[in-house]
Amino acid sequence: MNWIKTIETAAVDADGIASATANGRRIAVYAVDGTYFATSDICTHGQAFLSDGYLDGHLIECPLHQGLFDVRTGAPAGAPCTQPVRSFPVKVEDGFVHIQVEEPAA
């Protein structure tokens, strides 16, 4: 597993969302009360981009069917979502959000 530099912290509004890419994966990066979180950007229910959704505290609402996920863990938090989205470890270094992901398949 490697740390991948993804997006400047300044590009993620306070208590907001931004889309980033890490090892060819589309990632949603969230800022909640000064802490950063990251999940897959694709909803497991409707295949919509979570980065286009509505962030309310630690919950991201999918823009397609209004299902909810907890950005801290990726766990589903409201119907119709039942499958978690993948979450990624995050660290902030030198003004950038770094996400820990595995190497892409060879």
Give the per-residue pLDDT at 103.
Answer: 61
| Coil/strand/helix, residue 10 | helix
Segment 25-83, tens digit of pLDDT? 899 999 999 999 999 999 998 889 999 999 999 999 999 999 999 999 999 999 999 99
Q: Counting runs of H as helices and runs of E as strands, what totals does the chain give? A: 0, 11
Domain borders along the chain are: 2-101
Cα–Cα distance measured from residue 60 to residue 57, given in angstroms and rounded to the nearest whole number: 8
> Which 8-state DSSP code applies to residue 48?
-
| Fold of domain 2-101 | Rieske Iron-sulfur Protein (2.102.10)
Please say if the pLDDT value at position 95 is more than 60.
yes
Give the per-residue pLDDT at 101.
Answer: 82
Give the per-residue pLDDT at 104.
Answer: 55
Segment 52-61, tens digit of pLDDT? 999 999 999 9
